[in-house]
Amino acid sequence: MKIRPIILCGGAGTRLWKDTKKNVPKQFIDFGGWCLFEKTLDRIKDPIFDYPIISTNVKYLKEIKKYLKKNNFSKYKIVLEPTKRNTGPAILAAALIKQIPDNQPLVYFSSDHIIEKFNIFKESILKNLKYLNSKNLFIFGIKPTSPSTEYGYFLTKKMKNINSVVKFYEKPHLTKAKEILRKKGYWNSGMFFLRKDSIIYNFKKYEPKILTNCLKAVLKSKYVKNTYFLNKDFFAKAPSKSFDYAILEKTKKINAIKLNIPWSDLGSWKEISKMYKENKHQYFNKKNVFYRPWGKYTNLFVGKGFLVKEMTVNPKGCLSLQKHRYRSEHWLITQGKPKITLNNKVFTKNLNQSVVIPKGSIHRIENPFKKTVKIIEIQLGSILKETDIIRFQDIYGRVK
């Protein structure tokens, strides 16, 4: 029996955009001829997978069908949530449709992750397939590259050939994250591997009210053109709980698949900046290099509502003390040690550290050291032009 991929595609991208009504959800953002949802579809084209089930809402239906057609998916099922009830009901309802046999293995993918070396991911699925049963589940863990406060973690204990999860941590503060890394903790990727009968068993045991209402929502749904429109009255009665809180923190039969592969949910502009830094050669165009008295900047990509550039500040170079009316900025230090002014504060930043410049803040970058400074800058706003600079001081005489 093939493995059924279920793609969770209901996120609004609120961690990236303050005004979600005007901006594209993270999974559909064009990062330069590709989006994260398309990357997810590419992964499931492997012959080990059956056709996909996509869990989403009406707002994204048109966009999802556009990408399914573009990527030549003729077979699929879409399950539409009529109202937001968190990931618990979303994960369960997608598994309850009649096209999925009770013993079919399911892999839950988020629609907005980058996963590299997917062959290792695939091998880990096949290796652990034989351990699935009607009660247990596996969660994919990523070996941390740093003590990040942006992800959840878990600890495991070796039980025969399986890594049994013994403790979960929600996004910890930095000191706690460092402690978890010393204990060999892994990032919680939010991706799962289990059978349909197992997900039913666990919800029946720990969240029977969610199970009852999701079952009724599926049974009373309207089915039109490969799409299940879940019954709103019953789905709305399902308690709104995350899958982590509803099941993972309660079940004793949860195991881990540990992966040492490049992975990111691109959940912050810092992570997006890292992605552009690592792939900047793909975006570089010498026509987009602009020289200034302090150094140069290169426009790497202009997206919908954002602009990515790399700034190079020469030794002794100093940008003007300035502010912007229409944009905020996110800076990631990729080389050197800049001296930064932000309103009334002056400080330095080191490699891989980041700075947020809110709209309207007075700021400046200086390089008082001998090593060239490089920064990936992402601008966010309604106007992303050099004309949106109000200068207060400038050593090159550019203040009018």
| pLDDT > 70? residue 165 | yes
Percent of the chain with pLDDT over 70: 99
**Which pair of structure tokens corresponds to residue 80?**
């539409």
Is 399 a member of any domain?
A: no
Is 124 a member of any domain?
A: yes
What CATH number does the domain containing 356 carry? 2.60.120.10
Domain count of the chain? 2
- The SS3 of residue 90 is helix
Mean pLDDT of 284-310: 97
What's the pLDDT tens digit per position in 189-245?
A: 999 999 999 999 999 999 999 999 999 999 999 999 999 999 999 999 999 999 999
* Short-list 340, 368, 371, CA closest to 354: 340
Is 242 a member of any domain?
A: yes
What CATH number does the domain containing 119 carry? 3.90.550.10
282 & 251 share domain: no
Q: What is the DSSP string of 123-152?
A: HHHHHHGGG--SS-EEEEEE--SS--SSS-
Q: What global pTM score does this model have?
A: 0.93
**Which pair of structure tokens corresponds to residue 196?**
């349909």
Mean pLDDT of 344-353: 96
256 & 320 share domain: no
Is 234 a member of any domain?
A: yes
Residue 20 confidence (pLDDT): 47
103 & 231 share domain: yes
How would you classify the pairing of strands 227-229 and 77-81? Answer: parallel
Question: Whole domain around residue 93: which residue ranges?
Answer: 4-266
What's the pLDDT tens digit per position in 5-60?
A: 999 998 877 778 765 456 789 999 999 999 999 999 999 999 999 999 999 999 99
14 & 46 share domain: yes
What's the pLDDT tens digit per position in 67-100?
A: 999 999 999 999 999 999 999 999 999 999 999 9
Is 12 a member of any domain?
A: yes
